[in-house]
Structure 1
Amino acid sequence: MANYIHVPDEAPAVPKIDVTVDERDYRSGALKLIKELRPSWKPSEVKVKFFTDGITNKLLGCYVGAVMQDVVLVRIYGNKTELLVDRENEVKSFRVLHAHRCAPRLYCTFNNGLCYEFLQGTALEPEHIRSQPVFRLIARQLAKYHAIHAHNGWVPQSDLWLKMGKYFALIPKYLKDPEQNTRLSTEVPSPQCLREELVWLQQSLSVLGSPVVLCHNDLLCKNIIYNQGAGNVKFIDYEYAGYNYQAYDIGNHFNEFAGLNEVDYSHYPDRAFQLQWLSSYLEAYKEHKGQGSEVTDGEVEVLYVQVNRFALASHFFWGLWALIQAKFSTIDFDFLG
């Protein structure tokens, strides 16, 4: 059984550069990286654009000239995110997905982050991911990910329950800020209650027969780049990528229809929309697996049931994640909320 990611032999090696980028004074560190990656660029001409979408890491784009044509993205890992993210696994996922033309090129890693290729296109909003033709493109692209086969025909195992167990061990019992601590004790179920839910989830979902595939595991709107000219979507950010239940990845994406800052679960996709989405997904998945593209109503219905049950596990996973972030993150976001 394999639950690690095998990088193809032909995948280009990724250099490690011994630089630490200070998130408060990022320009000097970023320029050291650029000197290695783009030696022809004059340091005085390098422009830095700060992206503010992320709530885990800091992201900047370095480029020269008037337009953002050749851009090196520099991602600085958030405080204590190594507790949440297996960085070695992230690099392997990046390389595997790039080898299958599903991801941009990873230029290097550095002491507290990585540099990679910028993808042209627009990061999506919740209203875009439900629109035609975008939702079909997303469904087909996710199917392409899920069809990437494990090395040498090994049967992969999901690490979902292992990861949730690790997260569970890290959730704070109290928070330093008195107001936050009051919210923690009054608004969040007790650890004992959460543990019972976790056991129930594992027992209920493990038996549903959802295949274990290579998943993105964090398919929120901002991680989907739509290139209208090319007529395609690409996914970015592979921090949580790994072997997991197919239905979890889709259920997690459907949860993201509710948005991130202004959360509204009335936007969770209804049955009619889901059936269209899942049909597009299954057609592409079966094509990639060499199983034809004929999809029956029964197959769509089975997946529909699995996805909406695994959406519960996605809520629980990010709930644990947010409790840990509430304790450690230096980013200004209401993780406890």
Structure 2
Amino acid sequence: MAVKTNGFVEGIWPEGLRKLLMSLASNWGEVFDVEGLKVVHLSGAMTNVVYRLSWPIKKVDGDDCGGGVRTVLVRVYGDGLDLFFNREEEIRTFECLSEHGYGPKLLGHFKVGRVEEFIYARTLSSADLRDPETSALISAKMRDFHELEMPPPKEPLLWNRLRNWLSVAKSLCSPGDTNEYKLHILEQEITLLEEAISMDHQEIGFCHNDMQYGNIMIDDNDSTITIIDYEYASYNPIAYDIANHFCEMAANYHTDTPHILDYTKYPGEEERKRFIRKYLSSSGKEASETPVDQLADDVERYALANHLFWGLWGLISAYVSHIEFDYKEYARQRFEQYWLKKPEILKGGGGDEMPANSTRDV
């Protein structure tokens, strides 16, 4: 797939990357073998462009190390990402999580990206999320992630981020898109939603906020789960993070139409509660039905916030990203789900509602 960004297109190197790789090889006592370099674009990423780089290991003294291969992951930042999050804060989060033993190690930065340790594990598929054994492993890893002690602020970022993204979307969108996606009433919808679903009993934890299958890896030898890619990570209600994971079960980003969502695949009540029960019981103490039911209810409410979050993300991305993905159609589907599910979930929560059929049906 040709990607119009600072990536390996027609042999063009991202600025500073070759120098960084040469420096890393030197630190390892090796020579960077550019002639033997193999570059593989890893599909499925919608924020950055990701590559696997491999080259034969050659020691400075000339030893070829018996045919060994050095492999790293190169992440080239997508266009316009400064509109979504602060890159310096994201890198600090990455480094902090690495210190906690989470995810890959950061090997270095170049002007438009970074080089990371390559994890020899399998990225999950959309079908893997529905496997009960794999789902139980994910729930336990999420619980572990949420309990991490990360740098402040330890206040939920969700609502401020939604308002900031709405402001950005309004500044970018054409009048036609502003009208079609009803941006003029989303400010009151965000306020309504915040008042309707934010409650004192809800647990706040360090959330990943993008728990799609492509950000979860598994070592099939020992069933170890690794969560990667922390661009959107922040403190938030844990119910929001779980809701995000459930919503991602409607997606398959490795098809000919990766932007199309199938909400018939959204997990049913039994599957949702099974995941939540495993999540709450991961410390070893079996969770009773009351906290399971309460968290399940909260998760369904936060699914609404999730639709607004990724709807705005898709709309902004349509204007700033050059990755081949139909962001507007993706955004339309997320907003449509918000308006469709809001009356059912909030049960007359108020506000000026847009009819569920006000945009084209999926």
Q: TM-score range by the shorter chain?
A: 0.7 to 0.9
SS of the equivalent of 2:225 reads strand
Match of 1:13 in 2: none
SS of the equivalent of 1:193 reads helix
Larger RCO (CA under 8 A, 6+ residues apart): 1
Given that residues 136 and 280 in structure 1 are in contact (C-alpha distance below 8 angstroms), is that contact kept between their aligned partners in structure 2?
Answer: yes
The answer to whether structure 1 residue 321 and structure 2 residue 321 are counterparts is no
Match of 1:87 in 2: 87
Given that residues 212 and 243 in structure 1 are in contact (C-alpha distance below 8 angstroms), is that contact kept between their aligned partners in structure 2?
Answer: yes
Given that residues 70 and 118 in structure 1 are in contact (C-alpha distance below 8 angstroms), is that contact kept between their aligned partners in structure 2?
Answer: no
Q: 2:181 aligns with which of 188, 211, 217?
A: 188
Q: 2:279 aligns with which of 278, 281, 285?
A: 281
The answer to whether structure 1 residue 64 and structure 2 residue 55 are counterparts is yes
Name the CA shift for 1:150/1:44 in 2 (closer, same or farther; >3 Å): closer
Q: 1:34 aligns with which of 4, 15, 21?
A: 21
Name the CA shift for 1:132/1:227 in 2 (closer, same or farther; >3 Å): same
Given that residues 207 and 236 in structure 2 are in contact (C-alpha distance below 8 angstroms), is that contact kept between their aligned partners in structure 1?
Answer: yes
Q: 1:312 aligns with which of 304, 307, 329?
A: 304
Q: Deviations over 1:94-142 (max 9, x none)?
A: 1222222221111122221111111112222221111031101100111
Distance in 2 of aligned mates of 1:239 and 1:68: 32
Q: How does 1:140-289 map to 2 (within 5 A)?
A: 140-150=140-150, 156-172=154-170, 182=176, 184=177, 187-189=180-182, 191-207=183-199, 209-259=201-251, 260=253, 261=258, 262-284=260-282, 287=283
Name the CA shift for 1:69/1:314 in 2 (closer, same or farther; >3 Å): farther
Distance in 2 of aligned mates of 1:68 and 1:255: 41
Match of 2:133 in 1: 133
Match of 1:4 in 2: none
Between 1:273-282 and 1:27-36, the stretch displaced more is 27-36
Structure number, greater radius of gyration? 2
Distance in 1 of aligned mates of 2:230 and 2:187: 27
Given that residues 40 and 53 in structure 2 are in contact (C-alpha distance below 8 angstroms), is that contact kept between their aligned partners in structure 1?
Answer: yes
Between 1:199-208 and 1:80-89, the stretch displaced more is 199-208
| Number of equivalenced pairs | 304
Q: Which amino acid aligns with 1:34?
A: L
Distance in 2 of aligned mates of 1:53 and 1:36: 29
Q: Which amino acid aligns with 2:263?
A: Y
Unpaired runs of 5+ in structure 2? 58-66, 330-362
Unpaired runs of 5+ in structure 1? 1-19
Distance in 2 of aligned mates of 1:119 and 1:150: 23
TM-score when scaled to structure 2? Answer: 0.78
Given that residues 73 and 115 in structure 2 are in contact (C-alpha distance below 8 angstroms), is that contact kept between their aligned partners in structure 1?
Answer: yes
Aligned-residue identity in percent: 30
Displacement, 1:185?
Answer: 5.1
Displacement, 1:276?
Answer: 1.1
Match of 2:323 in 1: 331
Displacement, 1:174?
Answer: 6.4
Q: Deviations over 1:53-89 (max 9, x none)?
A: 2112111111124999642111111111111121122
Displacement, 1:52?
Answer: 2.2
Name the CA shift for 1:21/1:34 in 2 (closer, same or farther; >3 Å): farther
Distance in 2 of aligned mates of 1:332 and 1:211: 37
Q: Which amino acid aligns with 1:98?
A: S
Which ranges of 4 or more aligned residues in structure 1 deviate by more than 6 Å? none
